[in-house]
Amino acid sequence: MKLTVLMLVIFLLLVLLDNSVDCQRPSVVKIGAVFTFDSVIGRAAKAAMELAVSDINADPRILNGTQLKLIMEDAECNVFLGSMRAFQVLDNEVVAIIGPQSSPIAHMISQIANGLHVPLVSYAATDPTLSALQFPYFLRSTHSDSYQMEAVADFINFYGWKEVIAIFIDNDYGRNGISVLGDKLTEKMAVISYKLALPSQFDVNFITDVLNNSKYLGPRVYVVHINPDPMLRFFHIAQQLNMMTSEYVWLATDWLSSTLDSLSKDNQDLFSMLEGVIVFRPHTPTTTLKKAFVSRWRKLQQRDAVHSGLNVYGLYAYDTVWAVAHAIDKILKQHINISFSSSSTLQDAKTNRMQLGKFKVFNGGELLLKILSETNLTGLTGQIRFNADRNIILTGYEVVNIVRMVTRIVSYWSNHTGFSLLPPEFRKENQTSYSHPDQKIDNVTWPGGMTKKPRGWVIANGGRPLRIGIPKRASFTEFVTELNKSHNVQGYCINLFDEARQLVPYDVPSTFVPFGNGLSNPNYDALVKMVADGVFDAAIGDITIVTNRTRNADFTQPFAATGLVIVVPIDNSKSTPWVFVKPFALKLWAVIAISFVVIAVVIWILEHRVNDEFRGPPKQQLRTMFLFSFSTLFKTNQEKTISPLSRMVMVVWLFLLMVVTSSYTASLTSILTVQQLSSSTITGIDSLIASDWPIGYQVGSFAYSYLKDNLNIRKSRLVSLGSPEEYEKALRQGPKSGGVAAIVDELPYIELFLSKRTDFIIVGQPFTKGGWGFAFQKDSPLAVDMSTAILKLAESGKLQEIHHKWFCKPECPAQRIQNPDPNQLHLRSFLELFILCGVFSLGALLLFLFRVARQYARYQKKQMETPTSSTTLSSNVHCSKVLHNFFDFIDEKEEAIKRYFNQHNNSQSQVS
């Protein structure tokens, strides 16, 4: 019994001792780091990680006495060597690997980390395809290029550039980053027109050739996504090729900011070649912790000249070590052993020579990965947290402009708020979307010292002028044509294009290439298709903008409004009961009627005091006044004029009546001779479709496809016509004699057709809406600039002047068509005569009133000189009384007034 109890006690002691051994905190925990020591990022990262390990081991609040050991291996910027060095690190039983900085190496090492359950935390691998879905043990403590490229795309969209050239390193980092940029630009309706890949090994001749060839491309906005280069050799080559001028825009991703941060004071002169370059730099909030670290770093630089400048990746590396240390500390605090075990997969594999079986799986890898994913602490770069894809959550980017060898922040960007002049930490965190008007970027200095936004592209001609196709028309050559195979082209469209080209703020060298045989009008759909196929760079002419053509080319702003209209012949055999009012327009009739009334009033006023025929009861005076005025039209008025002023007015009035009546007679005769009334029952498109008569259309016009496909008119009814002469002949013959009942064509052609022919007319309204435009290749910026130029021509009135120059000689057909009665006379034809008559009438009235006013003043004076007069005016007489007396005086006969003056003069003589 005693022996049994003793054995039980010994067993319990052994179990307790075994547990105490198992739960004992290790004295050393190893982490690995694989990166390129001798590189811009690697030099900063190496010093930063060493400082982090030193700080962690000196801090009693973390790891509680357990030393953190960092095992570093040089990847030498080589995927194969990086993989080998990763195995060397893993052979030391590390619990996590920090790095690598290279995205291609990260792809390979992530596969190894997955197999051995060792978390891989990279502070510099930005390839967006490094995802947690493919690599479960991969975490990224730096930004993903998908985030950075969104900022670049937003910047390009802010300035309205639609085409860019991407220059990148031909590896996973370069290709995948630019691929994401292309996707982001597509969302902004922009595009990477050309992708120029550079070899990983810097080749001066190759890069020189690539940049030289890019000069012949259209875009001038370059996005450079390459590896950091302390000598800035890429921009040195660009400067030698004269590509750092105001014509170019250079956007560099964060590789350039890391390079600039690493430059020592001795290399500051390299900044001079970067004038106007835009750089995107991850934003790290300025905190007390960051300031203290920067101060320590500077002291380190002064002590050891080997260390390069501190860039953002050095900060990321420092924070990464601390994040890993905190995760390890949490595991140790949970009394979980740091242990490794052999992999059955590696043990069973036939890998004796490679000795893969000695590599062990980290038993706590899954737990450490989980704790790392839940990291939430404050570091040098701000808050350290990971999202669901295990990418660190960044605050945003700084848009840096290099001006006079100084980096200047012109804006801050985040995917929540867009561009702002305030850092992200001072903006609304709950904002989830933004619009273009909300964006703010400070004044930018572009290459060449320019402050005006660069255009961003040039004519991509490869050293040759633009090949512009023009339709070689056989009819309606006023719009565009070639002169007798002389390669000289002229016409309304060519004139307009030349005027618009002068308003484009750059030279547009071009040569016109006729399209067609000149015997018949060419097919315009085929012309636009040749633009899409690259045979022509553009097409200029009377090209209608229709849906199927816009699929192949980009069109400018319409420079002429068009629409399909119907033309039919007219019949002159019918009349109308109201034909007698047609010679004059309504306004002219109204002015004539008013003039008769005005003349009646004027003559009555002038004759009332001297002519007994214009006196009597009011009704008789009104009758006499108007009968006299209207009878002047027939020269049968019985009343005679006595006043010289009224006779003067009558002379001018009768002259006006003679001109008006003569014109009326001539116009009425013309209207009765040629009555413009349509003989056709076709009144519009509906009646045309309902009929079964043949319809004419112009060869090459889109009218054929519209009538056939949109209005479902049978092909057998459609008759192709090639010239205005054929139009006229077919319409005169009519449908019963082998002609057509109507012609359907675009309004500009019909206006030109009717300008020389008066026995045809447009019926109904235009039943389509459209316009003519110039066609350019898809996404051609020249189409936008030419559209702007056309709008300027329209606003200045130059567009209408060009139209008048070609089509309004001597009479604009559009004006004639708008006036359905060309023989009708308008007020403007007699306006000067009416004004002359009015001036004479007004002058006569003024002279009459002046004379009467003098007589009245004399009369009042004589009244006041007669003391016995009962009509002597008192000084207190009211103004209305004065006016009443004045009108009474005017109503008196002239003869009575003169008799009064004579009597008064005689009485004064007798008294004297």
Block means of pLDDT (10 residues each) for the chain, 912 residues, are 54 47 73 90 90 91 89 89 88 89 86 88 90 88 92 93 93 93 92 91 90 88 92 91 92 92 70 90 88 84 66 91 92 86 62 58 89 91 90 90 89 90 74 66 92 83 78 87 77 92 83 86 91 92 90 92 87 61 81 84 76 70 74 67 78 83 79 53 83 89 87 90 89 87 89 82 84 89 88 90 77 45 71 85 82 71 57 47 60 63 60 51
Alpha carbon distance 35, 86 (integer Å): 10
Q: What CATH number has the domain bearing residue 534?
A: 3.40.190.10
Asked, for residue 845, whether it belongs to a domain, the answer is: no
Does 17 map to a domain?
no
Phi, psi of 793 (to 5 degrees): -65, -40
Residue 18 lies in a domain: no
Which residues make Cβ contacts (< 8 Å) with residue 597, sequence separation at least 6? 626, 629
* Together in a domain, 299 and 341: yes
Of 807, 833, 865, the residue at which a domain comes to its end is: 807
The number of domains in the chain is 5
Amino acid present at 28: V
Task: Decide which of 650, 675, 700 is a domain's last residue.
Answer: 675
Enter the tokens of residue 568: 């039919």
Q: Does 125 lie in the same domain as 38?
A: yes
Asked whether residue 826 is domain-assigned, the answer is no
- The residue from 651, 675, 699 where one domain ends is 675
Largest CA distance in the chain: 185
Give a yes or no: residue 859 inside a domain. no
Residue 813: the pLDDT is 45
Residue 866 belongs to some domain of the structure: no
Phi-psi region at 700: left, alpha or beta (left = phi > 0; alpha = psi -120 to 50): left
**Per-residue pLDDT, 897:** 66
Alpha helix (H) residue ranges in 768-830: 781-796, 798-807, 813-818
Q: Would you say 732 and 739 are in contact if contact means Cβ atoms under 8 Å apart?
A: yes
Q: Which two tokens stand for residue 595?
A: 């003039």
Residue 266 sits in the same domain as residue 401: yes
Q: Is 828 exposed, middle or buried (0-12, 13-18, 19+ CB in 10 A)?
A: exposed
Q: What kind and span of H or E run contains 618?
A: helix 618-631
Peptide bond into 100 cis (omega under 30): yes
Q: What are phi and psi of 360, to 5 degrees?
A: -115, 150
Q: For residue 607, which of 615, 599, 616, 618 has the smallest C-alpha distance? A: 615
Check whether residue 249 and residue 178 sit in a common domain.
yes
Residues 149 and 272 in one domain: yes
Q: Which residue has the tokens 């390069």?
A: 308
Per the listing, tokens 């602490």 go with 377
How far is 654 from 632, CA to CA, in rounded Å?
7
Q: Dihedral sign, CA of 318, 319, 324, 329?
A: positive
CATH of the domain at 241: 3.40.50.2300
Asked whether residue 856 is assigned to any structural domain, the reply reads no
Do 750 and 634 lie in one domain? The reply is: no
Question: Can you give the pLDDT at residue 581?
Answer: 75
Task: Please indicate, yes or no, whether residues 102 and 169 belong to a single structural domain of this protein.
Answer: no
Contact 405, 268 (CB under 8 A): yes
Residues 293 and 283 placed together within one structural domain of the fold: no
d(Cα 719, Cα 698) in Å, to the nearest integer?
A: 9
CA gap 92, 85 in Å, rounded? 11
Asked, for residue 731, whether it belongs to a domain, the answer is: yes
Taking residue 573's Cβ as centre, other Cβ atoms within 10 Å add up to 7
Give the domain extent around 186.
Answer: 145-287+395-420
One domain, residues 260 and 152: yes
Cis peptide before 810 (omega within 30 of 0): yes
Q: Alpha-carbon distance 372 to 370, whole Å?
A: 5
pLDDT of res. 678? 45
Q: Is the pTM of this model over 0.75?
A: no
Q: Where are the alpha helices (DSSP H) in 679-768?
A: 685-690, 703-705, 724-733, 747-754
The CA-based angle 406-410-413, given to 5 degrees, is: 130
Same domain, 219 and 131: no
Residues 303 and 201 grouped into a single domain: no
CA distances from 284 to 290, 394, 555, 860 (A): 9, 8, 46, 101
Task: Kindly report the length of the chain.
Answer: 912
Taking alpha carbons only, the member of 95, 129, 92, 140 closest to residue 113 is 95
CATH of the domain at 715: 3.40.190
The Cα 249–Cα 276 span in angstroms is 8
Q: Do residues 160 and 244 share a domain?
A: yes
Burial bucket for residue 376 (CB in 10 Å: 0-12, 13-18, 19+): exposed
Sign, Cα dihedral of 789, 790, 795, 797: positive
Question: Among candidates 219, 239, 242, 221, which has minimal Cα distance to 231?
Answer: 239
pLDDT for residue 894 = 63
